[in-house]
Structure 1
Amino acid sequence: MVVVHPALAASVRSIVVYDVDFAGPGVHIGMPSTDLTFVLPLDQPLEVSWVGTGGPRAVGWSSVSGLHTRAAAIHHGHHQRGIQLSLTAAGARALWGVPASALAGQLLGLDDVDVRLAELPERLAAAGTWEGRLAVLEHALLDAVRRRTRPQPRPEVGRAMALLTRGVPVAAVADDVGYSRRRLNTLVHDEVGVPPKTYQRLARFSGAHARMRAAALGGEVSVARIAADSGYADQAHLAREWSDFAGCSPTEWLRREFPIVQASGDRDTTGWDERSHRATR
């Protein structure tokens, strides 16, 4: 994980450098969350499409996507390198000058969001080290933030989204910030592109996904325990949500993302070895 510059902390949730070896060509599943995704591949362009749509792949040296309720299919060969950023909803305004709702459900390139950053992939490729690439990226992001003068959303909208992320019921959130549920629905949708209930579901799912990955790295996964810890009624509830957002069951997702799997059908516990990879964090 890369340390984010303080001036970018409100906009950039995380910056991850990835350098991954795969057994062969395949598809990585990009999971939905409450963050926006910004990817800058090296060596070969990124090929992305939406899971289950059968639609065309977006191919390019950059990928920007807003909130989405369908997983992304990231097509890869034997090796992938690049930089992936998770952006906050506020980061869309700060970096691109638009609310996150303008990017919701879309797969875009830098040309679509900021033509002044169109040459960033070439500048990253020209840098000889990861340290140099990260310095180029940080400078470009800081410059983009300084160029923007778009107003930020009202504080109560940000508070509402924070409460929704923590699992507070929508009606209680509306009362807390002093809006009717209808008004809250409009404001949240205008800001991020999904209604409050969907935003809340995305937040809960994102937490479950993070717990699933952490448990995987520990060597054993209890889907039932993750469901309980993430606020789902039971394992079946998590499985339905996982299928809705990821396009497959939790067990199938584990098999796809971790090819060396000692699977146990749909039982609660699945153990496996971590796939061979190289990664800089």
Structure 2
Amino acid sequence: MATVHPALAPYVRSLVAYDVAFDGSGIHIGMPSTELTWVLPLDEPLAVSWDAAPETRTSGWTSVSGLHTRAAAVHHGVRQRGIQLALTPAGARALWGVPAAALAGQLAELPDVDPGFGDLPTQLGERTTWRARLDLLEGALLQALRRHERPGPRPEVARAMALLTRGTPVADTAAEVGYSRRRLSTLVRDELGVAPKVYQRLARFGGAHARMRHAALTGGVSVAAVAAASGYADQAHLAREWAELAGCSPTEWVRREFPNVQATDRRAERG
């Protein structure tokens, strides 16, 4: 994971340069979250579709997805190299000049969203080191920040998003920021493209996904433990959410994404 310039920190949650080898061609699951995803492949165009909807497949040198409630299928060959960024909703306005709502549920190429980035893939391909590529990308992002100079979400909406992310009930969030529940719902939809409860659902699922991924990278996974730490009523609740949002069970996700890791549930732990 690369260090993000301080001026970009409110807008870029993570920036990862990746070089991954696989046993063969396959599909990586792009998980729903409260972040917008931006991928810049280096060796070949990136093919992405919504899971179980191959007719939505797109292929390009820059892939952008807004907030979504179904998994994306990222098609890969034996090797993938590129740069992936996770943007905050405020980052969509600051770096692309559009609210996150404009991209909700969408798979797109960035030049269609902001033509100012049209030459970036070619320029990245011409660089021969990761340092040179990351420096180029940072410069392009800082230039975009100056180019757009658009205000972010109104402060009360940003405050509401923070409260929802922490699990504050929608009614309490509306009261905290001084809006009716209906007014809050309208403002959040206008900014994000999803209702407050959906955004809160994505936030909780994103936390579970991060915990599951961390557990898979550091040792065996207990689905029950992840469910408890992420605020789900029980393991079955998390399993239902995982199936709806990721398109498979938690244990299947671990098997597909981390084939050498053993995921357990209560039944397995009982023997």
Shorter-chain TM band: over 0.9
Task: Give 1:268 deviation, angstroms.
Answer: 5.7
Shift in Å at residue 195 of structure 1? 0.3
Aligned residues: percent identity?
70
Contact between 2:223 and 2:265, CA under 8 Å: does it hold in 1?
A: no
Q: 1:43 is paired with a residue of what secondary structure? A: coil
Query: If the length of structure 1 is used for normalisation, what is the TM-score?
Result: 0.93
Q: CA deviation at 1:204?
A: 0.3
Match of 1:94 in 2: 94
RMSD: 1.3
Where does residue 189 of structure 1 map in the other structure?
189
Q: CA deviation at 1:264?
A: 5.8
Give the corresponding residue for 1:20. Answer: 20
Show the counterpart of 1:119: 119
- Corresponding residue of 1:274: none
Q: Which residue of 1 aligns with 2:208?
A: 208
Paired residues of 1:223 and 1:268 also in contact (CA < 8 A): no
Structure 1 counterpart of 2:153: 153
- Unaligned stretches of 5+ residues in structure 1: 270-281
CA distance in 2, matches of 1:265, 1:185: 36
**Residues 169-201 of structure 1: CA deviation (Å, up to 9, x unaligned):** 111001100111111110101101100000000
Within 2, Cα distance between the matches of 1:159 and 1:90? 12
| 1:175 counterpart residue number | 175
Q: 1:262 to 1:230 in 2, by over 3 A?
A: closer
Partner of 1:40 in structure 2? 40
Partner in structure 1 of residue 135 of structure 2: 135
Deviation at 1:164, TM superposition (A): 0.2
Q: Indicate the SS of the match to 1:147.
A: helix
Residue 218 of structure 2 corresponds to 218
Equivalent residues of 2:224, 2:266 under 8 A apart: no
How much does 1:266 deviate?
A: 7.5
- What is the one-letter code of the residue matched to 1:177? V
- SS of the aligned residue for 2:133 comes to helix
Q: Distance in 1 between matches of 2:214 and 2:263?
A: 17
1:278 maps to which residue?
A: none
Partner of 1:84: 84
Q: Tell whether the 8 Å contact from 1:251 to 1:266 is kept in structure 2 after alignment.
A: no
* Contact 2:223 2:263 survives alignment (8 Å): no
Stretch of structure 1 that moved more, 254-263 or 208-217:
254-263
Name the SS for the 2:111 alignment partner: helix
Deviation, structure 1 residue 267: 3.8
User: What is the distance in 2 between the residues matched to 1:261 and 1:6?
Assistant: 36
Q: Does the 8 A contact of 2:37 with 2:64 survive in 1?
A: yes
Unaligned runs of 5+ in 2: none
Q: State how far apart, in whole Å, the 2-side matches of 1:35 and 1:107 are.
A: 14
Of 253-262 and 128-137, the range deviating more from structure 2: 253-262
Structure 2 counterpart of 1:54: 54
In 1, Cα distance between the equivalents of 2:29 and 2:152?
32
Does the residue aligned with 2:54 lie in a helix, a strand or coil? coil
- Partner Cα distance (1:268, 1:152) in 2: 47
1:258 correspondence with 2:258: yes
Instruction: Using CA pairs under 8 Å that are at least 6 residues apart, name the structure with larger relative contact order, 1 or 2.
Output: 1
CA distance in 1 between counterparts of 2:73 and 2:237 reads 24
Structure 2 vs 1, CA of residues 268 and 150 (structure 1 numbering), >3 Å: closer, same or farther? farther
* Structure 2 SS opposite 1:28: strand
Contact 1:11 1:91 in 2 (8 A): yes
Count of aligned positions: 269
In structure 2, relative to structure 1, the CA distance for the partners of 1:12 and 1:264 (3 Å cut) is: closer
Give the secondary-structure state (helix, strand or coil) at the position aligned to 1:57: strand
Distance 2:224 2:263 in 1: 16
Q: CA deviation at 1:152?
A: 1.9
CA distance in 2, matches of 1:133, 1:267: 47
TM-score (norm: length of structure 2): 0.96
Q: Given the superposition, is the C-alpha separation of residues 128 and 54 from structure 1 closer, same or farther in structure 2, using an over 3 Å criterion?
A: closer
